[in-house]
Homo-oligomer: A and B are copies of this chain.
Amino acid sequence: MRKAIATVSLSGTLIEKLEAIAAARFDGVEIFENDLLFHTGSARDVRRYASDLGLSIDLFQPFRDFEGVSDEQLKRNLDRAERKFDLMEELGAPLILVCSNVGTEVSDDDARMADQLYRLAERAAKRGLKIGFEALSWGTRVRTFDRAWGIVERANHPHLGLILDSFHTLALPDDWSGIASLPGQRVFFVQLADAPRIGMNPLTLSRHFRCLPGQGDLDVPGFLQAVLACGYTGTISLEIFNDDMRAAPPRQTAADGHRSLLFLEERVRRTEEAAAQAPSPARRPRRRVELFDPPLPPAIAGHRFIEVAVDERCEGGLARLLGQLGFTRLGHHRSKAVTLYGQGEIRIVLNREPDSFASSYFLMHGPSVCAQAIATDDALAALGRAESYGAARFGGRIGPDENTFPSIRAPDGSLIILTDPQTGGDFERDFVMDGAAEPTGLLTRVDHVAQALPDGQLDSWVLFYRAVLGLEPEDVVVLPDPYGLVRSKAMSNAERTLRIPLNISESRNTATARLVTNFAGAGVHHIALSTDDIFAAAEALKAAGATLLPIPANYYDDVAARFGLDDALIARMQSLSILYDRVGEGEFLQLYTTPFEERFYFEIVQRKGGYDLYGAPNAPVRMAALAALRGPNLSQVLR
């Protein structure tokens, strides 16, 4: 489908916005009047500039408080409209959005409103322009698409049509199934936005918390399906008012926006396809628009390996920590300064090769996870999907006769390496194996890899993982760090073989935030490894001389109380700094090492009885323990 975005959705000057929109490959743009008012060039310049960028100007917006007014006011409103029509002619914008009146003295008489809109359409028709009427969900009289449609239908002027907006429709509890039976040609434009369900009045929600389709909780795919069912074949356009986006670089917002529309199209398409596969499928109407059809997401078995950028100074310390965790050094790379460690299915690669991707990463981020290799069923299909969603392919330096892995850049510049049984099965071929005994530790596989993100980036990453890897977001949880709240949303596949919790700090002083600011951007802050016997693993860890994150005694009093655990168990957990959670029949035990170079730490987890979460109730304890370990937070003290 043709894709557009309203300039109001982006930060920056109008020129920056247009450039970002074009670079993200949108087809068209809605010009928000203020963007034009703030621009020093003429409307004609804007038109030419957009055209040079390959963008059409599809809509001019908004025109407010027009209908349901007194005859006297109508005259003034029509005069006002003529001046906007002049502007539209200069812009080359064929359509203006008239949003329902939010004034205090608005007639409740549909016939009056229809008559006034008819007159407006008559004026527009003389200029070859069109009027689109949209119900604001907080309009004084007209709040729903069906009332707006009733008025448009009554006016019955070919230059007057309806504009639909997913936010205004879905933010209200009303039934919107009637959209599918609108006459599609009378729908002049469709604006799309999502929003979280956070129990807020529509006006505030709309002005600050709209988000891209797929980033919120509204049924935008269902809305688009209804819109398509009615026969609409026009442009879909993003109109997002969002505080984060007002601050984000416009290029990122535009790129995310375009990706979100592609993802929306794919979701609608998959729903269509699933319906067609049903035992007795309903007769499907002929599809009248192009819907994006990337390769299907890969099946994901889990992490194939995790690569950590190190230097000579810190490698020994990390190798020691891995040894304490039960890892065996399996071998070294045949041509690079790269070492392989393993136990169970877990493989960790330490990379200190000079002049490599890892060494560049190290310079920027310190010792840190620079790449996550994902085991898929078809790495090339996964790569194809990622690229079709605009992810950047990475082609790194490789030596003679070494494996090449399809790789893409995550939004923070780290790598996601895509392996499959063909390409990744023998990644160890690149290593000269030490011939040591098979690894014997108690850890079995990677349970999850948690990432800290800069403020304002969560939605962007969620969209990235959904679109590129087909992961889905789990419920968001808000975790209290001593110095502020941390929001956490885990991305995972349905089989839960890949779990990536994303953590974001709203304050600048949490451990999560410090990690981000100290180390230039996003990053993995812990790697959680599974075991079938956390007690034995903890004993081994302790025996090997590792330091476990100390947990206050008070925690165990509370947990004993909450779950009614017996004293012996509690005592054993306490002696090994093991944390506990239970949901239904599911139990979760977890422990943490202290951070390695203040950069990342390891977690050991044991899941029992189908426990499917991450021990969120324990997170405050962990975060306080981390804070205590570090001593007072200087930036906090100095404020």
A101 in the interface, Cβ–Cβ < 8 Å?
no
Within the assembled complex, what's the spacing in Å between the Cα atoms of A637 and B401?
Answer: 71
Q: Mark A152-171, 1 if CB is under 8 A from B, else 0.
A: 00001111000000000000
Within the assembled complex, what's the spacing in Å between the Cα atoms of A383 and B234?
Answer: 9
Q: Mark A313-333, 1 if CB is under 8 A from B, else 0.
A: 000000000000000000000
Within 8 A of B (CB), among A109-145: 122, 125-128, 130
Q: Mark A20-36, 1 if CB is under 8 A from B, else 0.
A: 00111100000000000
Q: Which of A291, A295, A400, A402 has the most CB of B within 10 A?
A: A400
A423 in the interface, Cβ–Cβ < 8 Å?
yes
Point out the residues of chain B lying under 8 angstroms from A397, CB to CB. Answer: 125-128, 159
Q: Do B287 and A158 touch across chains, with their CB atoms under 8 A apart?
A: no
A257 in the interface, Cβ–Cβ < 8 Å?
no
Point out the residues of chain B lying under 8 angstroms from A403, CB to CB. Answer: 158
Given contacts A23-B52, A54-B24, A286-B378, contact A404 B158 (CB under 8 A): yes
Point out the residues of chain B lying under 8 angstroms from A19, CB to CB. Answer: 52
Which of the candidate stretches A387-395, A440-448, A469-477, A509-517 sits at the interface with the other chain?
Answer: A387-395
A630 in the interface, Cβ–Cβ < 8 Å?
no
Given contacts A56-B392, A290-B293, A423-B185, contact A400 B23 (CB under 8 A): no
Within the assembled complex, what's the spacing in Å between the Cα atoms of A401 and B128?
Answer: 15
Point out the residues of chain B lying under 8 angstroms from A95, CB to CB. Answer: 395
Within the assembled complex, what's the spacing in Å between the Cα atoms of A54 and B26?
Answer: 11
Within the assembled complex, what's the spacing in Å between the Cα atoms of A380 and B159?
Answer: 18
Q: Do B125 and A233 touch across chains, with their CB atoms under 8 A apart?
A: no
Q: Do B157 and A288 touch across chains, with their CB atoms under 8 A apart?
A: no
Q: Do A387 and B233 touch across chains, with their CB atoms under 8 A apart?
A: yes
Given contacts A54-B22, A291-B293, A295-B289, contact A233 B384 (CB under 8 A): yes
A53 in the interface, Cβ–Cβ < 8 Å?
yes
Point out the residues of chain B lying under 8 angstroms from A406, CB to CB. Answer: 185, 233
Given contacts A397-B128, A401-B156, contact A185 B23 (CB under 8 A): no
Within the assembled complex, what's the spacing in Å between the Cα atoms of A398 and B185?
Answer: 14
Within the assembled complex, what's the spacing in Å between the Cα atoms of A295 and B397?
Answer: 42
Point out the residues of chain B lying under 8 angstroms from A231, CB to CB. Answer: 380
Given contacts A22-B23, A185-B423, A396-B128, contact A290 B286 (CB under 8 A): no
Point out the residues of chain B lying under 8 angstroms from A485, CB to CB. Answer: none
Q: Do A378 and B185 touch across chains, with their CB atoms under 8 A apart?
A: no
A2 in the interface, Cβ–Cβ < 8 Å?
yes
A87 in the interface, Cβ–Cβ < 8 Å?
no
A120 CB → nearest B CB, Å: 13
A212 CB → nearest B CB, Å: 18
A482 in the interface, Cβ–Cβ < 8 Å?
no
Q: Do A380 and B184 touch across chains, with their CB atoms under 8 A apart?
A: yes
Point out the residues of chain B lying under 8 angstroms from A125, CB to CB. Answer: 397-400
Q: Mark A215-241, 1 if CB is under 8 A from B, else 0.
A: 000000000000000010110000000
Q: Do B293 and A384 touch across chains, with their CB atoms under 8 A apart?
A: no
Point out the residues of chain B lying under 8 angstroms from A233, CB to CB. Answer: 380-381, 383-384, 387, 406
A385 in the interface, Cβ–Cβ < 8 Å?
yes
Q: Do B398 and A158 touch across chains, with their CB atoms under 8 A apart?
A: yes
A276 CB → nearest B CB, Å: 14
A427 in the interface, Cβ–Cβ < 8 Å?
no
Q: Mark A390-430, 1 if CB is under 8 A from B, else 0.
A: 00110111111111101000000000000000010000000
A94 in the interface, Cβ–Cβ < 8 Å?
yes
A294 in the interface, Cβ–Cβ < 8 Å?
yes
A338 in the interface, Cβ–Cβ < 8 Å?
no
Q: Do A384 and B158 touch across chains, with their CB atoms under 8 A apart?
A: no
Q: Do A292 and B295 touch across chains, with their CB atoms under 8 A apart?
A: no
Within the assembled complex, what's the spacing in Å between the Cα atoms of A159 and B290?
Answer: 38
Within 8 A of B (CB), among A454-491: none
A1 in the interface, Cβ–Cβ < 8 Å?
yes
Point out the residues of chain B lying under 8 angstroms from A380, CB to CB. Answer: 184-185, 231, 233, 288
Query: Which residue on chain B has the smallest CB distance to residue A390?
Result: B27
Point out the residues of chain B lying under 8 angstroms from A292, CB to CB. Answer: 290
Q: Do B385 and A158 touch across chains, with their CB atoms under 8 A apart?
A: no
Query: Which residue on chain B has the smallest CB distance to residue A128?
Result: B397
Point out the residues of chain B lying under 8 angstroms from A398, CB to CB. Answer: 125, 158-159
Query: Which residue on chain B has the smallest CB distance to residue A291?
Result: B293
Query: Which residue on chain B has the smallest CB distance to residue A185?
Result: B404
Q: Do B295 and A23 touch across chains, with their CB atoms under 8 A apart?
A: no
Q: Do A157 and B23 touch across chains, with their CB atoms under 8 A apart?
A: no
Within the assembled complex, what's the spacing in Å between the Cα atoms of A84 and B398?
Answer: 20
Within 8 A of B (CB), among A1-25: 1-2, 19, 22-25
Point out the residues of chain B lying under 8 angstroms from A399, CB to CB. Answer: 125, 158
Q: Mark A246-269, 1 if CB is under 8 A from B, else 0.
A: 000000000000000000000000
Q: Do A158 and B25 touch across chains, with their CB atoms under 8 A apart?
A: no
Point out the residues of chain B lying under 8 angstroms from A184, CB to CB. Answer: 380
Query: Which residue on chain B has the smallest CB distance to residue A356?
Result: B128
10 other contacts beyond A24-B54, A158-B398, A233-B380, with CB at 8 A cut-off?
Answer: A19-B52, A127-B397, A157-B400, A158-B400, A185-B380, A233-B387, A287-B295, A289-B384, A290-B294, A293-B293
Write 20 A-B pairs (CB below 8 A) sorted by A numbering.
A1-B384, A2-B387, A19-B52, A22-B22, A22-B53, A22-B54, A23-B54, A25-B54, A125-B397, A125-B400, A128-B396, A158-B399, A185-B380, A185-B423, A233-B384, A286-B381, A288-B295, A289-B295, A290-B384, A291-B293
